[in-house]
């Protein structure tokens, strides 16, 4: 949960010349206030409570923008989105995901990225996305 994310996103959009519309900001606020990753239809459910006419396409468009700007990450294994802990600098996401309680922690370990990059280069693979998801048990659940 990163409640300061929408305010930071506003500043970054001004600096980048990007447009953070009311809809995009609202989707980001919903994600930033959540205590766990949210799927697009979870976000839509919240929006429809405020505006019954909210449509899935508007959520997906907002998510595309937020992903492009680096304000959120998509966790493919969960089919969900989570706010970025440091959207002010581009990076590939690395996440520890607890199988028991659902806690997701973003980490930023450059050695992981370098290792993956070397392995990809060695095999002639041209990596496009660099999101790493590691599933296991968090400290709290391991006790």
Q: Residue for token digits 């500043």?
A: 11
pLDDT at position 1 over 70: no
Q: What is the pLDDT of residue 17?
A: 96
What are residue 73's DSSP bridge partners? 82
Which positions ≥6 away from 113 have C-beta within 8 Å? 92, 94, 130
Domains and CATH numbers, the chain: 5-83 (1.10.10.10), 94-142 (3.30.1490.190)
- The answer to whether the beta carbons of residues 30 and 86 sit under 8 Å apart is no
Q: Residue for token digits 């060695």?
A: 122
Selection from 2-6, 28-32, 118-122 with the highest mean pLDDT: 28-32
Give mean pLDDT, residues 28-33. 97
Q: Residue 136: which pLDDT band, with cuts at 50, 70 and 90? A: very high
Q: Residue 92: which pLDDT band, with cuts at 50, 70 and 90? A: confident
Quickly count: other Cβ atoms within 10 Å of residue 23's Cβ. 16
Mean pLDDT estimate for the chain = 93
């Amino acid at each position: 949960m990163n409640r300061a994310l929408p305010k930071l996103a506003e500043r970054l959009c001004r600096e980048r010349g990007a447009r953070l519309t009311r809809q995009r900001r609202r989707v980001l606020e919903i994600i930033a206030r959540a205590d766990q990753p949210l799927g697009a239809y979870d976000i839509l459910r919240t929006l429809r409570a405020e505006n019954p006419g909210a449509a899935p396409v508007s959520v997906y468009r907002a998510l595309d923008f937020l992903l492009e700007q680096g304000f959120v990450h998509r966790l493919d294994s969960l089919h969900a989105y989570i706010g970025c802990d440091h959207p002010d600098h581009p990076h590939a996401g690395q996440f520890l995901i607890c199988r028991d309680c659902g806690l997701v922690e973003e980490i930023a370990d450059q050695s992981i990225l370098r290792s993956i990059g070397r392995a990809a280069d060695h095999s002639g693979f041209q990596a496009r996305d660099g999101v790493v998801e590691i599933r296991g048990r968090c400290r709290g659940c391991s006790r």
